[in-house]
Amino acid sequence: MLCKYRKTQQRPTPYWTYRMEKTHLQLWEECRQFIKDNIPSAQYDAWFRDVASLSFDNMSLTLVVPSAFFVEQLEERYLGLLGAAIRQVYGRGVKLYYQFNQVKDEPKTAVNMRSAEPSPAILNAGAKTSPTNPFAPQPVGDIDPQLNPRYNFENYCCSMSNKVAWGIGQSIANDPKIKTFNPLFIFGSTGVGKTHLIQAIGIRVKERNPQAKVLYVTARLFQSQYTTAEAKGTTNSFFHFYQSIDTLIVDDIQDLRDKPATQNTFFHIFNHLHQNGKQIIMSSDCSPADMEGFEARLLSRFRWGMSVKLENPDIELRRNVLVQKAEQDGLMLPADVIDYIAANVTDSIRELEGIVVSLIGRATVLNVDISLELARGVIANAVRINRRQINFEMLTAAVCAHYGVDADLVFTKSRKREISDARQVVMFLAKKLLKMPFTAIGVRLGRSHATVLYACKNIEERMPLEKQLSDDILAIEAAVMQ
Protein backbone atom coordinates (compact mmCIF):
# COMPACT_ATOMS: atom_id res chain seq x y z
CA MET A 1 0.00 0.00 0.00
CA LEU A 2 2.89 2.34 0.74
CA CYS A 3 4.22 2.03 -2.81
CA LYS A 4 1.51 4.44 -3.93
CA TYR A 5 3.28 7.30 -2.15
CA ARG A 6 6.75 8.76 -2.40
CA LYS A 7 8.68 7.93 0.73
CA THR A 8 11.12 10.41 2.17
CA GLN A 9 14.73 9.64 1.30
CA GLN A 10 15.85 8.76 4.81
CA ARG A 11 14.69 5.40 6.11
CA PRO A 12 12.43 6.00 9.12
CA THR A 13 13.67 5.15 12.58
CA PRO A 14 11.66 2.33 14.23
CA TYR A 15 8.60 3.45 16.16
CA TRP A 16 9.86 2.42 19.59
CA THR A 17 12.98 4.54 19.16
CA TYR A 18 10.86 7.55 18.25
CA ARG A 19 8.80 7.09 21.37
CA MET A 20 11.91 7.24 23.48
CA GLU A 21 13.48 10.25 21.78
CA LYS A 22 10.85 12.49 20.16
CA THR A 23 7.78 14.38 21.26
CA HIS A 24 4.36 13.90 19.71
CA LEU A 25 4.73 17.33 18.03
CA GLN A 26 7.97 16.28 16.32
CA LEU A 27 6.43 13.02 15.20
CA TRP A 28 3.41 14.76 13.71
CA GLU A 29 5.67 17.27 11.94
CA GLU A 30 7.45 14.39 10.20
CA CYS A 31 4.07 12.88 9.38
CA ARG A 32 2.96 16.16 7.81
CA GLN A 33 6.17 16.30 5.78
CA PHE A 34 5.39 12.84 4.38
CA ILE A 35 1.91 14.05 3.41
CA LYS A 36 3.28 17.27 1.91
CA ASP A 37 5.61 15.26 -0.32
CA ASN A 38 2.70 13.30 -1.77
CA ILE A 39 -0.01 15.85 -2.56
CA PRO A 40 -0.13 19.24 -4.31
CA SER A 41 0.74 22.16 -2.05
CA ALA A 42 -2.72 23.71 -2.48
CA GLN A 43 -4.36 20.56 -1.08
CA TYR A 44 -1.86 20.37 1.76
CA ASP A 45 -2.52 24.01 2.70
CA ALA A 46 -6.28 23.50 2.57
CA TRP A 47 -6.57 20.26 4.56
CA PHE A 48 -3.41 19.62 6.61
CA ARG A 49 -1.75 22.94 7.50
CA ASP A 50 -4.28 23.59 10.28
CA VAL A 51 -4.24 20.03 11.63
CA ALA A 52 -2.15 19.65 14.79
CA SER A 53 -1.18 16.86 17.16
CA LEU A 54 -2.81 16.98 20.58
CA SER A 55 -1.31 13.82 22.05
CA PHE A 56 0.22 10.44 21.30
CA ASP A 57 -0.09 7.92 24.10
CA ASN A 58 -0.68 4.17 24.39
CA MET A 59 -0.72 3.77 20.61
CA SER A 60 -3.46 6.42 20.29
CA LEU A 61 -2.85 9.55 18.21
CA THR A 62 -5.24 12.49 18.65
CA LEU A 63 -5.26 15.21 16.00
CA VAL A 64 -6.90 18.60 16.46
CA VAL A 65 -8.97 19.65 13.44
CA PRO A 66 -11.06 22.80 12.87
CA SER A 67 -14.46 21.12 12.53
CA ALA A 68 -16.46 17.96 11.93
CA PHE A 69 -16.45 18.87 8.23
CA PHE A 70 -12.67 18.47 8.24
CA VAL A 71 -13.05 14.98 9.67
CA GLU A 72 -15.44 14.00 6.89
CA GLN A 73 -13.15 15.37 4.18
CA LEU A 74 -9.99 13.79 5.59
CA GLU A 75 -11.73 10.43 5.92
CA GLU A 76 -13.22 10.57 2.43
CA ARG A 77 -10.28 12.05 0.50
CA TYR A 78 -7.06 11.35 2.33
CA LEU A 79 -7.55 8.40 4.69
CA GLY A 80 -5.25 6.18 2.63
CA LEU A 81 -2.48 8.78 2.54
CA LEU A 82 -2.93 9.66 6.20
CA GLY A 83 -2.82 5.99 7.17
CA ALA A 84 0.36 5.45 5.17
CA ALA A 85 2.03 8.45 6.79
CA ILE A 86 1.07 7.32 10.29
CA ARG A 87 2.33 3.78 9.69
CA GLN A 88 5.65 5.06 8.39
CA VAL A 89 6.27 7.55 11.22
CA TYR A 90 4.50 5.99 14.23
CA GLY A 91 4.39 2.33 13.30
CA ARG A 92 1.50 -0.10 12.91
CA GLY A 93 -1.44 -0.53 15.24
CA VAL A 94 -1.91 3.18 15.94
CA LYS A 95 -5.47 4.27 16.70
CA LEU A 96 -6.35 7.66 15.20
CA TYR A 97 -8.72 10.13 16.87
CA TYR A 98 -9.86 13.59 15.80
CA GLN A 99 -10.75 16.35 18.22
CA PHE A 100 -12.86 19.34 17.20
CA ASN A 101 -15.21 21.81 18.86
CA GLN A 102 -18.88 21.40 18.07
CA VAL A 103 -19.24 25.14 18.73
CA LYS A 104 -16.45 27.34 17.41
CA ASP A 105 -14.14 28.75 20.09
CA GLU A 106 -16.00 26.81 22.80
CA PRO A 107 -13.54 24.23 24.23
CA LYS A 108 -16.28 22.78 26.43
CA THR A 109 -17.90 21.36 23.28
CA ALA A 110 -14.76 19.45 22.25
CA VAL A 111 -15.40 16.01 20.73
CA ASN A 112 -12.87 13.22 20.27
CA MET A 113 -13.89 10.99 17.33
CA ARG A 114 -12.11 7.81 16.28
CA SER A 115 -11.15 7.37 12.65
CA ALA A 116 -12.59 4.72 10.33
CA GLU A 117 -14.98 1.87 11.21
CA PRO A 118 -16.28 1.60 13.84
CA SER A 119 -16.44 5.28 14.72
CA PRO A 120 -17.31 5.86 18.37
CA ALA A 121 -17.35 9.54 19.25
CA ILE A 122 -16.35 10.22 22.83
CA LEU A 123 -16.37 13.62 24.44
CA ASN A 124 -12.83 14.51 25.38
CA ALA A 125 -14.01 16.10 28.61
CA GLY A 126 -15.59 12.91 29.94
CA ALA A 127 -14.58 9.36 30.60
CA LYS A 128 -14.36 6.96 27.67
CA THR A 129 -17.38 5.11 29.03
CA SER A 130 -19.54 8.25 28.68
CA PRO A 131 -20.29 8.78 24.98
CA THR A 132 -22.17 11.97 24.12
CA ASN A 133 -22.43 11.54 20.39
CA PRO A 134 -24.78 9.25 18.43
CA PHE A 135 -22.04 6.97 17.07
CA ALA A 136 -21.35 4.91 20.20
CA PRO A 137 -22.64 1.33 19.96
CA GLN A 138 -22.34 0.70 23.71
CA PRO A 139 -25.08 1.68 26.19
CA VAL A 140 -25.07 5.39 26.92
CA GLY A 141 -24.24 6.54 30.44
CA ASP A 142 -24.22 10.10 31.67
CA ILE A 143 -23.62 12.64 28.90
CA ASP A 144 -22.44 16.20 28.54
CA PRO A 145 -25.63 18.22 27.97
CA GLN A 146 -23.75 20.79 25.84
CA LEU A 147 -25.32 23.65 27.80
CA ASN A 148 -23.73 27.06 28.28
CA PRO A 149 -23.73 27.80 32.03
CA ARG A 150 -24.19 31.52 31.30
CA TYR A 151 -27.63 30.83 29.84
CA ASN A 152 -29.44 30.23 33.12
CA PHE A 153 -32.67 31.59 34.58
CA GLU A 154 -30.75 33.84 36.97
CA ASN A 155 -29.33 35.74 33.98
CA TYR A 156 -32.61 35.80 32.05
CA CYS A 157 -34.46 39.13 32.18
CA CYS A 158 -38.24 38.96 32.18
CA SER A 159 -40.98 41.43 31.17
CA MET A 160 -44.42 41.35 29.58
CA SER A 161 -42.86 40.60 26.18
CA ASN A 162 -41.53 37.21 27.30
CA LYS A 163 -43.40 36.48 30.53
CA VAL A 164 -45.55 33.67 29.12
CA ALA A 165 -42.61 31.78 27.64
CA TRP A 166 -40.57 32.36 30.80
CA GLY A 167 -43.39 31.02 32.99
CA ILE A 168 -43.85 27.88 30.90
CA GLY A 169 -40.10 27.30 30.86
CA GLN A 170 -40.01 27.58 34.65
CA SER A 171 -42.86 25.07 34.98
CA ILE A 172 -41.09 22.48 32.82
CA ALA A 173 -37.73 23.01 34.51
CA ASN A 174 -39.07 22.84 38.05
CA ASP A 175 -41.22 19.76 37.48
CA PRO A 176 -40.29 17.73 34.38
CA LYS A 177 -43.05 15.23 35.21
CA ILE A 178 -45.60 17.79 33.99
CA LYS A 179 -46.14 16.97 30.30
CA THR A 180 -48.79 19.60 29.54
CA PHE A 181 -46.20 21.53 27.53
CA ASN A 182 -44.66 18.61 25.67
CA PRO A 183 -43.39 19.41 23.15
CA LEU A 184 -42.56 23.06 23.89
CA PHE A 185 -42.09 25.05 20.69
CA ILE A 186 -40.63 28.54 21.19
CA PHE A 187 -40.43 30.88 18.21
CA GLY A 188 -39.49 34.47 17.54
CA SER A 189 -37.18 36.66 15.50
CA THR A 190 -33.41 36.60 15.78
CA GLY A 191 -31.89 37.85 19.00
CA VAL A 192 -34.96 37.82 21.25
CA GLY A 193 -33.55 35.23 23.69
CA LYS A 194 -34.77 31.85 22.42
CA THR A 195 -31.45 30.06 22.89
CA HIS A 196 -30.99 31.51 26.36
CA LEU A 197 -34.44 30.39 27.49
CA ILE A 198 -34.31 26.82 26.19
CA GLN A 199 -30.83 26.29 27.62
CA ALA A 200 -31.96 27.75 30.96
CA ILE A 201 -34.64 25.04 31.09
CA GLY A 202 -32.03 22.36 30.48
CA ILE A 203 -29.70 23.77 33.14
CA ARG A 204 -32.48 23.88 35.73
CA VAL A 205 -33.50 20.29 34.92
CA LYS A 206 -29.90 19.13 35.46
CA GLU A 207 -29.67 21.12 38.70
CA ARG A 208 -32.81 19.47 40.04
CA ASN A 209 -31.87 15.99 38.79
CA PRO A 210 -28.15 15.50 37.96
CA GLN A 211 -28.90 11.96 36.67
CA ALA A 212 -31.29 13.25 33.98
CA LYS A 213 -29.98 12.88 30.43
CA VAL A 214 -30.34 16.37 28.99
CA LEU A 215 -28.96 17.30 25.58
CA TYR A 216 -28.89 20.62 23.75
CA VAL A 217 -28.17 20.36 20.03
CA THR A 218 -28.62 22.66 17.06
CA ALA A 219 -30.57 21.35 14.09
CA ARG A 220 -27.49 21.81 11.90
CA LEU A 221 -25.41 19.61 14.21
CA PHE A 222 -28.19 17.02 14.30
CA GLN A 223 -28.20 17.03 10.49
CA SER A 224 -24.42 16.66 10.37
CA GLN A 225 -24.44 13.80 12.87
CA TYR A 226 -27.18 11.98 10.97
CA THR A 227 -25.37 12.39 7.63
CA THR A 228 -22.15 11.01 9.11
CA ALA A 229 -23.97 8.11 10.75
CA GLU A 230 -25.69 7.23 7.49
CA ALA A 231 -22.41 7.36 5.56
CA LYS A 232 -20.70 5.09 8.09
CA GLY A 233 -23.63 2.72 8.51
CA THR A 234 -24.10 3.57 12.18
CA THR A 235 -27.68 4.86 12.08
CA ASN A 236 -28.79 2.29 14.66
CA SER A 237 -26.32 3.75 17.15
CA PHE A 238 -27.55 7.22 16.22
CA PHE A 239 -31.16 6.23 17.00
CA HIS A 240 -30.13 4.45 20.19
CA PHE A 241 -28.34 7.53 21.47
CA TYR A 242 -31.15 10.01 20.84
CA GLN A 243 -33.87 7.67 22.08
CA SER A 244 -32.05 7.50 25.43
CA ILE A 245 -32.39 11.25 26.11
CA ASP A 246 -34.73 12.44 28.87
CA THR A 247 -34.90 16.12 27.80
CA LEU A 248 -34.00 16.85 24.18
CA ILE A 249 -33.49 20.52 23.26
CA VAL A 250 -33.19 21.30 19.54
CA ASP A 251 -32.30 24.87 18.57
CA ASP A 252 -33.16 26.43 15.19
CA ILE A 253 -35.32 23.51 14.08
CA GLN A 254 -36.13 25.49 10.91
CA ASP A 255 -32.69 24.47 9.60
CA LEU A 256 -34.10 21.02 8.82
CA ARG A 257 -36.16 22.64 6.06
CA ASP A 258 -36.11 20.67 2.78
CA LYS A 259 -34.14 17.77 4.33
CA PRO A 260 -36.68 14.94 4.09
CA ALA A 261 -34.35 12.13 5.19
CA THR A 262 -33.29 13.94 8.36
CA GLN A 263 -36.89 15.01 9.01
CA ASN A 264 -37.99 11.39 8.77
CA THR A 265 -35.31 10.39 11.29
CA PHE A 266 -36.28 13.19 13.66
CA PHE A 267 -39.94 12.19 13.30
CA HIS A 268 -39.26 8.69 14.60
CA ILE A 269 -37.00 9.95 17.40
CA PHE A 270 -39.68 12.49 18.34
CA ASN A 271 -42.37 9.81 18.45
CA HIS A 272 -40.25 7.51 20.62
CA LEU A 273 -39.41 10.22 23.13
CA HIS A 274 -42.95 11.58 23.28
CA GLN A 275 -44.53 8.16 23.72
CA ASN A 276 -42.12 7.40 26.56
CA GLY A 277 -42.85 10.63 28.42
CA LYS A 278 -39.58 12.40 27.55
CA GLN A 279 -39.55 16.19 27.23
CA ILE A 280 -38.89 17.77 23.83
CA ILE A 281 -38.07 21.48 23.49
CA MET A 282 -37.56 23.23 20.16
CA SER A 283 -36.88 26.75 18.95
CA SER A 284 -37.50 28.32 15.56
CA ASP A 285 -37.55 31.71 13.86
CA CYS A 286 -41.21 31.18 12.90
CA SER A 287 -44.30 29.38 14.16
CA PRO A 288 -45.19 25.83 13.01
CA ALA A 289 -48.04 27.31 10.97
CA ASP A 290 -45.57 29.41 8.94
CA MET A 291 -42.90 26.74 8.41
CA GLU A 292 -42.31 25.59 4.85
CA GLY A 293 -40.34 22.66 3.50
CA PHE A 294 -41.47 20.31 6.29
CA GLU A 295 -43.55 17.15 6.16
CA ALA A 296 -47.12 17.66 7.35
CA ARG A 297 -46.87 14.81 9.85
CA LEU A 298 -43.82 16.42 11.49
CA LEU A 299 -45.47 19.84 11.68
CA SER A 300 -48.45 18.22 13.34
CA ARG A 301 -46.08 16.89 16.03
CA PHE A 302 -44.69 20.39 16.56
CA ARG A 303 -48.21 21.57 17.35
CA TRP A 304 -49.00 18.76 19.80
CA GLY A 305 -47.92 20.62 22.91
CA MET A 306 -47.39 24.34 23.50
CA SER A 307 -46.24 26.92 20.96
CA VAL A 308 -45.29 30.29 22.39
CA LYS A 309 -43.83 33.37 20.77
CA LEU A 310 -41.02 35.49 22.18
CA GLU A 311 -41.92 39.04 21.22
CA ASN A 312 -39.37 41.73 20.42
CA PRO A 313 -38.12 43.16 23.73
CA ASP A 314 -40.34 45.90 25.16
CA ILE A 315 -38.94 49.03 26.81
CA GLU A 316 -38.92 47.44 30.27
CA LEU A 317 -37.00 44.40 29.09
CA ARG A 318 -34.52 46.49 27.14
CA ARG A 319 -33.71 48.58 30.19
CA ASN A 320 -33.40 45.48 32.40
CA VAL A 321 -31.03 43.83 29.95
CA LEU A 322 -28.84 46.94 29.82
CA VAL A 323 -28.68 47.22 33.60
CA GLN A 324 -27.88 43.53 34.02
CA LYS A 325 -25.22 43.53 31.30
CA ALA A 326 -23.58 46.61 32.84
CA GLU A 327 -23.54 44.99 36.29
CA GLN A 328 -22.02 41.78 34.91
CA ASP A 329 -19.26 43.81 33.27
CA GLY A 330 -18.67 45.89 36.41
CA LEU A 331 -19.88 49.01 34.66
CA MET A 332 -22.00 51.93 35.81
CA LEU A 333 -24.18 53.20 32.99
CA PRO A 334 -25.68 56.67 33.50
CA ALA A 335 -29.47 56.73 33.50
CA ASP A 336 -29.66 58.95 30.43
CA VAL A 337 -27.41 56.53 28.52
CA ILE A 338 -29.62 53.57 29.45
CA ASP A 339 -32.72 55.50 28.41
CA TYR A 340 -31.21 56.53 25.08
CA ILE A 341 -30.03 53.03 24.18
CA ALA A 342 -33.32 51.44 25.25
CA ALA A 343 -35.29 53.94 23.15
CA ASN A 344 -33.22 53.44 19.99
CA VAL A 345 -32.16 49.77 20.01
CA THR A 346 -35.51 48.03 19.90
CA ASP A 347 -35.31 44.81 17.89
CA SER A 348 -32.85 42.49 19.59
CA ILE A 349 -31.42 41.66 23.01
CA ARG A 350 -28.25 40.61 21.23
CA GLU A 351 -27.91 44.11 19.79
CA LEU A 352 -28.35 45.65 23.23
CA GLU A 353 -25.56 43.52 24.67
CA GLY A 354 -23.36 44.35 21.70
CA ILE A 355 -23.90 48.06 22.25
CA VAL A 356 -22.72 47.77 25.86
CA VAL A 357 -19.60 45.91 24.75
CA SER A 358 -18.92 48.58 22.12
CA LEU A 359 -19.39 51.33 24.69
CA ILE A 360 -16.86 49.73 27.02
CA GLY A 361 -14.40 49.27 24.18
CA ARG A 362 -14.66 52.81 22.90
CA ALA A 363 -14.51 54.36 26.36
CA THR A 364 -11.41 52.31 27.15
CA VAL A 365 -9.61 53.19 23.92
CA LEU A 366 -10.44 56.88 24.18
CA ASN A 367 -9.87 56.92 27.96
CA VAL A 368 -13.14 58.77 28.56
CA ASP A 369 -16.20 58.23 30.72
CA ILE A 370 -19.31 56.69 29.20
CA SER A 371 -21.64 59.52 28.29
CA LEU A 372 -24.74 60.16 26.24
CA GLU A 373 -22.61 61.62 23.45
CA LEU A 374 -20.44 58.51 23.37
CA ALA A 375 -23.58 56.33 23.26
CA ARG A 376 -24.94 58.32 20.33
CA GLY A 377 -21.73 57.69 18.39
CA VAL A 378 -21.72 53.95 19.11
CA ILE A 379 -25.38 53.50 18.17
CA ALA A 380 -24.98 55.56 15.00
CA ASN A 381 -22.32 53.10 13.86
CA ALA A 382 -24.08 49.94 14.97
CA VAL A 383 -27.81 50.44 14.51
CA ARG A 384 -29.84 52.03 11.77
CA ILE A 385 -31.92 54.59 13.59
CA ASN A 386 -35.08 55.75 11.91
CA ARG A 387 -34.50 59.39 11.13
CA ARG A 388 -37.92 60.18 9.78
CA GLN A 389 -39.08 63.75 10.18
CA ILE A 390 -41.67 64.23 12.89
CA ASN A 391 -43.81 67.27 13.50
CA PHE A 392 -45.86 68.67 16.36
CA GLU A 393 -49.07 66.97 15.21
CA MET A 394 -47.42 63.55 15.00
CA LEU A 395 -45.90 64.00 18.44
CA THR A 396 -49.22 65.07 19.97
CA ALA A 397 -51.01 62.10 18.39
CA ALA A 398 -48.40 59.68 19.79
CA VAL A 399 -48.70 61.11 23.32
CA CYS A 400 -52.50 61.02 23.27
CA ALA A 401 -52.56 57.49 21.84
CA HIS A 402 -50.28 56.31 24.62
CA TYR A 403 -52.44 57.82 27.35
CA GLY A 404 -55.76 57.07 25.67
CA VAL A 405 -56.71 60.75 25.54
CA ASP A 406 -58.63 62.53 22.77
CA ALA A 407 -56.03 64.67 20.99
CA ASP A 408 -58.47 67.58 20.59
CA LEU A 409 -58.78 67.90 24.38
CA VAL A 410 -55.08 68.68 24.77
CA PHE A 411 -55.66 71.98 22.96
CA THR A 412 -58.52 72.99 25.26
CA LYS A 413 -58.43 74.68 28.67
CA SER A 414 -59.37 71.42 30.44
CA ARG A 415 -57.60 70.90 33.78
CA LYS A 416 -58.46 67.22 34.20
CA ARG A 417 -55.42 65.37 35.51
CA GLU A 418 -55.06 62.93 32.62
CA ILE A 419 -55.41 65.70 30.03
CA SER A 420 -53.11 68.07 31.90
CA ASP A 421 -50.43 65.39 32.23
CA ALA A 422 -50.65 64.52 28.51
CA ARG A 423 -50.39 68.22 27.65
CA GLN A 424 -47.25 68.63 29.78
CA VAL A 425 -45.64 65.57 28.17
CA VAL A 426 -46.38 67.04 24.74
CA MET A 427 -44.63 70.24 25.79
CA PHE A 428 -41.65 68.39 27.22
CA LEU A 429 -41.16 66.19 24.14
CA ALA A 430 -41.73 69.07 21.73
CA LYS A 431 -38.82 70.83 23.38
CA LYS A 432 -36.65 67.71 23.61
CA LEU A 433 -37.29 66.07 20.24
CA LEU A 434 -38.37 68.94 17.99
CA LYS A 435 -36.17 71.61 19.60
CA MET A 436 -39.07 74.03 19.44
CA PRO A 437 -38.78 77.35 21.39
CA PHE A 438 -40.97 77.66 24.48
CA THR A 439 -42.90 80.47 22.80
CA ALA A 440 -43.65 78.39 19.71
CA ILE A 441 -44.89 75.48 21.83
CA GLY A 442 -47.10 77.88 23.81
CA VAL A 443 -48.61 79.29 20.63
CA ARG A 444 -49.52 75.80 19.37
CA LEU A 445 -51.23 74.89 22.66
CA GLY A 446 -52.67 78.31 23.55
CA ARG A 447 -50.40 78.64 26.59
CA SER A 448 -47.90 81.25 27.73
CA HIS A 449 -44.12 80.96 27.54
CA ALA A 450 -43.96 80.66 31.36
CA THR A 451 -46.51 77.84 31.41
CA VAL A 452 -44.51 75.80 28.90
CA LEU A 453 -41.28 76.43 30.81
CA TYR A 454 -42.92 75.27 34.05
CA ALA A 455 -44.34 72.15 32.39
CA CYS A 456 -40.96 71.10 30.95
CA LYS A 457 -39.20 71.58 34.29
CA ASN A 458 -41.98 69.74 36.10
CA ILE A 459 -41.70 66.66 33.85
CA GLU A 460 -37.92 66.73 34.03
CA GLU A 461 -37.98 66.77 37.84
CA ARG A 462 -40.65 64.05 38.11
CA MET A 463 -38.99 61.52 35.79
CA PRO A 464 -36.22 60.36 38.19
CA LEU A 465 -38.82 59.95 40.94
CA GLU A 466 -41.66 58.36 38.96
CA LYS A 467 -40.67 55.21 37.11
CA GLN A 468 -44.00 54.96 35.31
CA LEU A 469 -43.66 58.46 33.91
CA SER A 470 -40.12 57.73 32.77
CA ASP A 471 -41.27 54.49 31.09
CA ASP A 472 -44.17 56.31 29.43
CA ILE A 473 -41.89 58.94 27.91
CA LEU A 474 -39.38 56.34 26.68
CA ALA A 475 -42.20 54.35 25.08
CA ILE A 476 -43.60 57.44 23.38
CA GLU A 477 -40.16 58.41 22.08
CA ALA A 478 -39.60 54.92 20.69
CA ALA A 479 -43.05 54.93 19.04
CA VAL A 480 -42.76 58.35 17.45
CA MET A 481 -39.24 57.74 16.13
CA GLN A 482 -40.12 54.49 14.34
| Residues 83-111 pLDDT 10s | 888 888 888 888 888 888 765 566 666 66
Predicted confidence at residue 444, as pLDDT, reads 86
Predicted confidence at residue 132, as pLDDT, reads 45
Q: Which residue has the higher pLDDT, 230 or 8?
A: 230
Predicted confidence at residue 481, as pLDDT, reads 67
Q: Is residue 216 over pLDDT 90?
A: yes
Mean pLDDT check: name the lowest of 41-50, 84-93, 163-172: 41-50
pTM: 0.52
Predicted confidence at residue 387, as pLDDT, reads 47
Confidence of residue 280 (pLDDT cuts 50, 70, 90): very high
Strand ranges, E, within 52-199: 52-57, 60-64, 95-101, 110-114, 121-123, 184-187
Q: Is residue 238 over pLDDT 50?
A: yes
Predicted confidence at residue 427, as pLDDT, reads 92
Write the CA distances from 374 to 59, 139, 363, integer angstroms. 58, 57, 8
Residue 94: phi, psi to the nearest 5? -80, 135
Distance of alpha carbon 39 from its chain centroid, rounded? 39
Confidence of residue 38 (pLDDT cuts 50, 70, 90): confident
Predicted confidence at residue 335, as pLDDT, reads 83
Q: Which residue has the higher pLDDT, 355 or 409?
A: 409
What SS3 class is residue 119?
coil
Q: Measured between alpha carbons, how far is 235 from 46 in angstroms, rounded to an integer?
A: 30
Q: Which residue has the higher pLDDT, 335 or 428?
A: 428
Mean pLDDT check: name the lowest of 138-152, 233-247, 443-457: 138-152
Confidence of residue 279 (pLDDT cuts 50, 70, 90): very high
Q: Is residue 11 over pLDDT 70?
A: no
Q: Measured between alpha carbons, how far is 248 from 199 in angstroms, rounded to an integer?
A: 11
164-202: b (≥16 Cβ within 10 Å) or e: ebbebbbbbbeebeeeebbbbbbbbeebbbbbbbbbbbb
Mean pLDDT check: name the lowest of 204-208, 224-228, 435-439: 435-439
pLDDT (average), residues 195-203: 91
Predicted confidence at residue 10, as pLDDT, reads 47
What SS3 class is residue 185?
strand
CB atoms within 10 A of CB 111: 22
Confidence of residue 9 (pLDDT cuts 50, 70, 90): very low
Confidence of residue 380 (pLDDT cuts 50, 70, 90): confident
pLDDT (average), residues 26-45: 83
pLDDT (average), residues 324-341: 77
pLDDT (average), residues 453-478: 86
Predicted confidence at residue 123, as pLDDT, reads 28
Predicted confidence at residue 285, as pLDDT, reads 87
Q: Is residue 39 over pLDDT 60?
A: yes
Q: Is residue 269 over pLDDT 70?
A: yes
Confidence of residue 41 (pLDDT cuts 50, 70, 90): confident
Predicted confidence at residue 381, as pLDDT, reads 65
What SS3 class is residue 451?
helix
Predicted confidence at residue 15, as pLDDT, reads 43
Predicted confidence at residue 12, as pLDDT, reads 47
Q: Which residue has the higher pLDDT, 371 or 184?
A: 184
CB atoms within 10 A of CB 20: 8
Query: In percent, how much of the chain has pLDDT > 70?
Result: 84
Pick from 108, 89, 87: nearest CA to 99: 108
pLDDT (average), residues 152-171: 85
Q: Measured between alpha carbons, how far is 479 from 386 in angstroms, rounded to an integer?
A: 11
Q: Measured between alpha carbons, how far is 350 from 358 in angstroms, rounded to an integer?
A: 12
What digits encode the pLDDT tens for the residues 133-156? 444 443 445 677 888 888 888 888
Predicted confidence at residue 426, as pLDDT, reads 92
| Average pLDDT of the chain, as a whole number | 79
Predicted confidence at residue 126, as pLDDT, reads 32
